[in-house]
Amino acid sequence: MNATEAIQDASLTLREARATRVPVSPVSVSHQLEGLEVAYQVAELNTLARLESGRSIVGKKIGLTSTAVQQQLGVDQPDFGVLFDDMEFLDGAEIPSARLIQPKIEAEVAFVVGRDLSTQSPTYAEFLNCLAYALPALEIVDSAIADWKISLFDSVADNASSGLYVLGDQPVPIGALALADLGMAMTRQGETVSVGAGSACLGHPLRATYWLARLMSERGQGLRAGEVILSGALGPMVPVKAGDLIQARIAALGNVNCRMG
């Protein structure tokens, strides 16, 4: 199997795993994927397949920004994935567990892009000027790789282990927040299962999002008005199952909750 065939077959393997909800062995090994760009090519093929099926892109997610999560998964740098319109839920929603394989959940700061950012190598000021506001969010991450035995390449190929996400109701202007100092506590069935802070997200949630903005620029893309950006975990992710009530409070951003259906 040549490199092109391996990329195509890996994308199909992951797509079928998602469709059947049967996880597979790490594609980085089974398909001998080498290098981040190859892994992103696998993810891009599945992005195109979802677009062809009628889905639309509504944002991006940044993964592996928390040292705690990196240690959990044995990786040492962030990645990104694509958010589609059918992934979004609002505060208090019941989440369809039947759509997921082996879900875990984490609390995050979400940003909404207020204006297009298509500048080549945007400055930090240009980047800040494109953001409208922040929201508390929960991301339900999900891996098509059995037992979450993923490398960085597996995470990238599998759309950064994207699953679903939940947005809080009340937007807050980013200038009104000390984002690195935001404390986070998340409970499952009333028991605290994850605590953290904004500083856990690459040191600052805006720094993590700026990393994404620059990477998108390098890849010939930009941030688009109306997009949601999930900036990364504020603390350890935890497994969830049907029936679990998840409640998170992120300091000045407020609360965001969901129940796994």
For residue 232, what is the domain's CATH number?
3.90.850.10
CA distances for 110 relative to 21, 146, 209, angstroms: 27, 28, 10
Please say whether the dihedral angle defined by the alpha carbons of residues 236, 237, 239 and 243, taken in this order, is positive or negative: positive
Cβ 13 vs Cβ 133: under 8 Å: no
Tell me 164's DSSP state. E
Question: Per the domain annotation, does 187 fall within a domain?
Answer: yes
**% of the chain beyond a pLDDT of 90:** 85
Model pTM score? 0.95
Q: Which of 142, 113, 98, 95 is nearest to 256 (CA)?
A: 95
Question: Per the domain annotation, does 25 fall within a domain?
Answer: no
Residues in the chain predicted with pLDDT less than 50, given as ranges, are none
Cβ 145 vs Cβ 30: under 8 Å: no
Range of the domain at 93: 56-260
Write the CB contacts of 221 (distance below 8 Å, at least 6 apart in sequence). none
Tokens encoding 252: 């000045």
Beta strands in the chain (DSSP E): 57-63, 79-84, 88-90, 93-95, 104-113, 131-141, 164-167, 183-188, 191-197, 228-233, 238-239, 245-250, 254-260
Question: Per the domain annotation, does 14 fall within a domain?
Answer: no
Question: Per the domain annotation, does 152 fall within a domain?
Answer: yes
Question: Per the domain annotation, does 173 fall within a domain?
Answer: yes
Tell me, what's the pLDDT at 34? 84
Cβ 180 vs Cβ 199: under 8 Å: yes
Tell me, what's the pLDDT at 68? 66
Q: Indicate the number of domains in the chain.
A: 1
Tell me 34's DSSP state. -
Tell me 68's DSSP state. H
Question: Per the domain annotation, does 28 fall within a domain?
Answer: no
Question: Per the domain annotation, does 48 fall within a domain?
Answer: no
Question: Per the domain annotation, does 51 fall within a domain?
Answer: no
